[in-house]
Structure 1
Amino acid sequence: MHKTNNNYNRNNNKNNTNKVDVKKLFSDIGTVANVLGKIITTSKVVVDELKNQSGILYVFDTNALMNDPNLITIQKRNSSYIVPIVVLEELDKLKLDKNRSQKASNAIRAINKSNVRIEKYSEHVLPKDFDMRNNDNKILATAMKFSNKNVVIVTEDNNLKNKAKSQNIRCISLSEFRRS
């Protein structure tokens, strides 16, 4: 009877070990999947950063997207597109204006369909005499976050162009963007 008991204990231990191993295996698979997910996400960010190092970052103003929402569907080689969050807010308000609602809605739809980055502005990059309640200044501050890269604002707004020029940020018009 002692032998049977030992055999039972061995078999029972094997079964428990297998159960623990299976649980541990699934736990390990979950951990590996989590780590792989983080690696893939990090890799995508690194690839995006590498693409942008030698390319151009285009920052779009509200009027550019209102005048030609398809601008952001034009894929330019070695370039990335940024839409400042304040532009989305402006477009959202413009949807309520009878005269501009169609253009604003078209611009919002184009943004949704395109591969653009939506970025917040950073108050700390602008000189203190720039009023951060002004939306042009917020667009400029968004562009200035990337001033260590080749950043270009696409706009028809002459005042924004002048402000950007004062901060050594290049601006181009819609027609210049299409030709480039």
Structure 2
Amino acid sequence: MAAKKKNSGKIFVLDTNVLLHDHKCLYNFEENDIIIPIVVLEELDKFKKGNDQINFQAREFVREMDRLSGEQLFTAGISLGKGHGRLFIETGKPIPEEMQESFSENTPDHRILAITLHVKEKYKERQTILITKDINLRMKAKSLGLVSEDYESDKVKNIEILHHGVETFDGFDKNIIEALYKEGQVPRSEFPMTDEQLPANQYAILKNESQSVLAWFDPNSQSIRRVEKHSAFGIEPRNAEQTFSLHALMNPDVKLVSLTGKAGTGKTLLALAAALQQHKQYNQILLARPIMPLANRDLGFLPGDINEKIGPYMQPLFDNLGVIKNRFQQSSKELAIIEEMQKREELIITPLAYIRGRSLSDVYFIIDEAQNLTPHEVKTIITRAGEGTKMVFTGDIHQIDSPYLDMQSNGLAYLTDKMKGQDLFAHVNLVKGERSFLAELASDLL
């Protein structure tokens, strides 16, 4: 009976990019069997050295394989444990004629396709599926009659209903609006919205004809509170979403914030201004972003020392700091505070890879361009948070530079989806660009 159940299961062939995306992926295929082509192990060797998250994933997967290794890995396979299938390594196979007609080059991708075709023929009674995050490889596989899918265990299922953090309610009860202006808060029990419409730290714009109020659901007091407009270190919010963002960024009860929105909506600027406004509450402000080299060229190709290499990637963060500095006169105490913090390394702008391994306590940590992180990378960053630390992730899920991430699988969307409703989490999607009318027009039309 057990053998029959095993033989009826699917066979998943995994591409290198799946292992580099999630080194624990072996345990996400239920009772189905998994095959790792030998060429994948060859490719992993190229990624083991380095400080980027992709190098960490490669090393962790190799360690996991070492823990699982045994004589049967190339024959009968090795069990992945209760509730899981077996793991096999398949050695290289000749490229069949049907492939050579279309794909003549002997590349790792084509060798993976050859192994997948071999597995399909060897186990005709079972479905063989190639799992890869490479869209081109999926297309090549389908041209050969192979079933190929993306790795979706950590994808946001419906990106269209991704939590926006802000809801607008028209025709709202004017008595509640008046009570919010008069008392500042209303008990949750008197509010007509459902728990689905009003999760923890949900922001809302309540309207009734000429009246409107900005409100927020405080999960600690179980009340709806009015949100007032406040500035932070010289930065004034210009719209409702920016007002809500500053509120979340400066709320001491909210330890994790995600801000999404297109370029020019003020995500990073607001986060940095809020951090500086609260600098006395934290030992350090860290502002970091992942480095995504252009044209898949490593930093080693760029001229200069390490600071000159990373400078262009960090410049947008320095630009945001420059905007804040320009709000003040040279003799102002605010400018003196910023310069003193930088001198004492209490305000640091750095590549995200340089933070790995640190335990972050009493730190205001801003992670910019978080849409270029995988869900596992986001989890790794958050698990470094110590006591008194606040983490802010900013980015635009429509502008992804990583070749193996999309709107559904990037870490920022995953974080926003999974954390919705948690008392210590708040999210705001900023819609309106505030750089200039030209920038807003280009963002919408081009």
TM-score range, shorter chain: 0.5 to 0.7
Are 1:72 and 1:110, in contact at CA under 8 Å, matched by a contact in 2?
A: no
Q: Cα distance, 1:131 vs. partner?
A: 3.2
Separation in 2, partners of 1:139, 1:52: 24
Q: Which residue is 1:123 aligned to?
A: 94
Separation in 2, partners of 1:171, 1:121: 19
Task: Say if 1:85 and 1:134 are closer, same or farther in 2 by CA, change over 3 A.
Answer: same
Q: Provide, for residues 16-60 of structure 1, a one-character-per-residue CA deviation record: whole Å limited to 9, x for no partner.
A: xxxxxxxxxxxxxxxxxxxxxxxxxxxxxxx6xx66532111001
Task: Say if 1:121 and 1:52 are closer, same or farther in 2 by CA, change over 3 A.
Answer: farther
Q: Provide, for residues 113-144 of structure 1, a one-character-per-residue CA deviation record: whole Å limited to 9, x for no partner.
A: 45421111322435223235211111111111
Higher relative contact order (CA 8 A, sep 6+): 1
Matched, 1:71 2:71: no
Counterpart residue type for residue 94 of structure 2:
E
Separation in 1, partners of 2:38, 2:20: 15
Poorly superposed stretches of 4+, deviation over 6 Å: none
Q: Cα distance, 1:175 vs. partner?
A: 0.9
Q: Provide, for residues 125-168 of structure 1, a one-character-per-residue CA deviation record: whole Å limited to 9, x for no partner.
A: 35223235211111111111121231001110011101100111
SS in 1 for 2:99: coil
SS in 1 for 2:11: strand
CA RMSD of aligned residues (A): 2.5
Counterpart residue type for residue 146 of structure 1:
V
- Which one of the candidate residues 71, 77, 90 is aligned to 2:43? 90
Are 2:28 and 2:153, in contact at CA under 8 Å, matched by a contact in 1?
A: no
1:19-168 paired onto structure 2 within 5 Å: 53-74=7-28, 76-77=30-31, 79-99=32-52, 100-114=54-68, 115=78, 116-125=87-96, 126-129=98-101, 130-131=103-104, 133-147=106-120, 148=124, 149-168=126-145
Separation in 2, partners of 1:132, 1:53: 34
Between Structure 1 and Structure 2, which shows a larger proportion of helix residues?
A: 1
Structure 1 range deviating more: 159-168 or 67-76? 67-76
Structure 1 unmatched ranges of 5 or more: 1-46
Q: Cα distance, 1:171 vs. partner?
A: 1.2
Counterpart residue type for residue 113 of structure 2:
L
SS in 2 for 1:145: helix
SS in 2 for 1:175: coil
Task: Say if 1:75 and 1:171 are closer, same or farther in 2 by CA, change over 3 A.
Answer: closer
Q: Identical aligned pairs, as a percentage?
A: 29
TM-score (norm 1): 0.63
SS in 2 for 1:63: helix
Structure 2 unmatched ranges of 5 or more: 69-77, 79-86, 157-446
Q: Cα distance, 1:75 vs. partner?
A: 5.2
TM-score (norm 2): 0.27
Are 1:123 and 1:132, in contact at CA under 8 Å, matched by a contact in 2?
A: no
Q: Which residue is 2:152 aligned to?
A: 175
Task: Say if 1:51 and 1:138 are closer, same or farther in 2 by CA, change over 3 A.
Answer: farther
Q: How many residues align?
A: 130
